A = this chain, B = another copy of it.
């Protein structure tokens, strides 16, 4: 490929002028600029990013670490992040960790090697090497957690009020007369799970229905939702409603109902979480807690860019609005 030197030679100027013509056109004389432009086009010149990055100590890249890109929730958040990054002249480095600590550590390393200016992580675990960075720089570390925020890390974060959202979902079920309610939660290691469970319990206590509460744990996949729901349905005193911590789990729950001949919502009311794109198109359309997924992604990027721009005050975690969307998968307890 051609270098800036070749362009400079062809245009009969110095490399400095070429550089200026590209990054600061108004300070070079129009005729000079035109000559440079001609040379650039003739030689198909494109500035070498590595050299630029080395010199400027910035990469214009943001690493986004997700547990599973093919999960519709994460992919929507990712999309929002990608959009915002792109809009701000950055690009997204994708890290799919599969929930694996080794992979997480590897991606975290990339930040230290300066392959990205900052990192957004969507899991609940912060790799140790990042924890060190965060500890050293506090809220100014170029790290943002999305969704599964835990204040103890001292890093910036975006999330919804998981506790309240869960309480509202449970409240809906209780208000419809359900007393035996199953909750298919995520893994307990996750801060998010614990937050939501706190909301669940609060709602159960408020409704005086703690005794009817059954909590089981799944891993957010359809299959685990199917399995746990099947188990719940087989119990002697089976629940009349389930609250699933993701729409994927809810899809599994619906599937379990069909397999056992239980109608939804008459036999079992189902509430999901996330409101992924297909939730409203399920049969029956799913009652669920909508998270503003794209907005979460965009906000995470915005926070990160603010930090990179060196904004003064350490960031408060941002809480975005959720919404309980009532559709046809919930009905009165029979």
Contacts and interface: CB of A to CB of B under 8 A. Distances in A.
Interface of A: 1, 44, 46-51, 53-54, 59, 61, 64, 68-70, 72, 75-76, 78-79, 82-83, 86, 91-96, 103, 106-107, 109-110, 112-115, 132, 222, 226, 248, 251-252, 254-255, 258, 277-278, 281-283
A255 B91 CA distance: 36
Contact of A92 (B75, B93, B258): B93
Contacts of A79: 68-70, 96
A4 to B, nearest CB: 12
25 contacts: A1-B112, A44-B132, A46-B109, A47-B113, A49-B59, A49-B110, A49-B113, A50-B50, A51-B54, A53-B53, A64-B94, A68-B79, A69-B75, A69-B79, A69-B82, A70-B72, A70-B79, A70-B277, A72-B75, A83-B96, A222-B278, A251-B278, A254-B281, A278-B278, A283-B283
A59 B114 CA distance: 12
B50 A114 contact: yes
Given A49-B110, A82-B94, A92-B93, 17 more contacts: A44-B132, A46-B109, A46-B112, A50-B54, A50-B59, A51-B54, A61-B93, A68-B79, A69-B69, A70-B72, A86-B103, A91-B107, A91-B115, A254-B281, A258-B283, A282-B282, A282-B283
Nearest to A225: B281
A122 to B, nearest CB: 13
The secondary structure that dominates the A interface is helix
A113 B72 contact: no
A143 to B, nearest CB: 16
Contacts of A48: 54, 113-114
A113 B82 contact: no
A247 B254 CA distance: 18
A61 B61 CA distance: 12
Contact of A49 (B76, B82, B114, B278): B114
B49 A1 contact: no
Nearest to A112: B46
Given A112-B46, A115-B91, A70 B75 contact: yes
A109 B46 CA distance: 8
A91 B50 CA distance: 15
Contacts of A282: 282-283
Contacts of A95: 82, 91
A278 B282 CA distance: 10
Contacts of A92: 93-94
Given A48-B114, A49-B113, A281-B222, A93 B96 contact: no
B86 A76 contact: no
Nearest to A48: B114
Contacts of A258: 283
A79 B71 CA distance: 10
A99 to B, nearest CB: 13
A72 B72 contact: yes
Contacts of A76: 70
